[in-house]
Amino acid sequence: MMELKVYDIKGKDTGRTIKLSEEIFGIEPNDHAIYLAVKQYMANRRQGTHKAKERGEVKGSTRKIKRQKGTGTARAGAIRNPLFKGGGRVFGPRPRSYAFKLNKKVKRLARKSALATMLKNDQIMVVEAFDFDTPKTKNFVDVLKSLKLDDKKSTFVFVNPNKNVYLSSRNLPKSKVINGLDLNTYAILNAGKLVFTEDAIPEIEAKF
């Protein structure tokens, strides 16, 4: 079992430690599983609303623009022919979904691999659970300063984030607050510094 120190929101060591599961945080990272999971996440976010007009959709007359033979040039029909300026596009993009399926075991392996990578790079820390009475950005900034994360990218993982904590962090471009159940491979690797509340670790281990 591996252990991490638990800090309070003032950035001070509480003297306690929390044990991390070797089966999750101690595995050998699988880079290909990580690649597939991140690729799926990015693909699922694509809107796929791109559209180009083809010859049947552009504005223009359907009249035959010149006689079939005797002009010395190639045959031509409507002015909307893709070969003419202003004509339709040949085989243009159409609305489509980029989503693809990924097996649950691969996604689970990718999340474990991402957590193991973050731990190996010393990008995980644990703090006591906390909340705010009122939503105030300054309160969250004070926490970041105490943890020396005010100038770094960070993601705080809660079991059930207090609404006031979430609202207090919303205006800060480098920090975010998420529910541990929403943690995915992309969010883990994109965190910069991954800050778990003490009670979130057992929840994460049970989920993964």
pLDDT digits (tens, 9 = 90+) for 88-117: 999 999 999 999 999 999 999 999 999 999
Is the CB of residue 61 less than 8 Å from the CB of residue 205? Answer: no
Would you place residue 162 in the very low, low, confident or very high pLDDT band (cuts 50, 70, 90)? confident
d(CA 4, CA 77): 74
- 7-64, pLDDT tens digit by residue? 998 989 888 899 998 899 989 999 999 999 999 999 999 999 999 999 999 999 989 9
How many Cβ atoms sit within 10 Å of the Cβ of residue 119? 18
- Tell me what pLDDT residue 126 has: 93
Give pLDDT, residue 1: 56
The percent helix, strand, coil of the chain (3-state, each to 5) is 35, 15, 50
Predicted model pTM: 0.81
Q: Is the pLDDT assigned to residue 180 strictly greater than 90?
A: no
121-156 residue pLDDT tens? 999 999 998 889 899 999 999 999 999 998 899 999
State the Cα–Cα distance between residues 187 and 46, nearest whole angstrom.
17
- Bridge partner residues of 100 (DSSP): none
CATH topology of domain 2-46+100-207: Ribosomal Protein L4; Chain: A; (3.40.1370)
Domain boundaries, given as residue ranges, for the chain: 2-46+100-207, 47-97
Q: Which helix (H) or strand (E) holds 87?
A: none
Identify the pLDDT of residue 151. Answer: 87
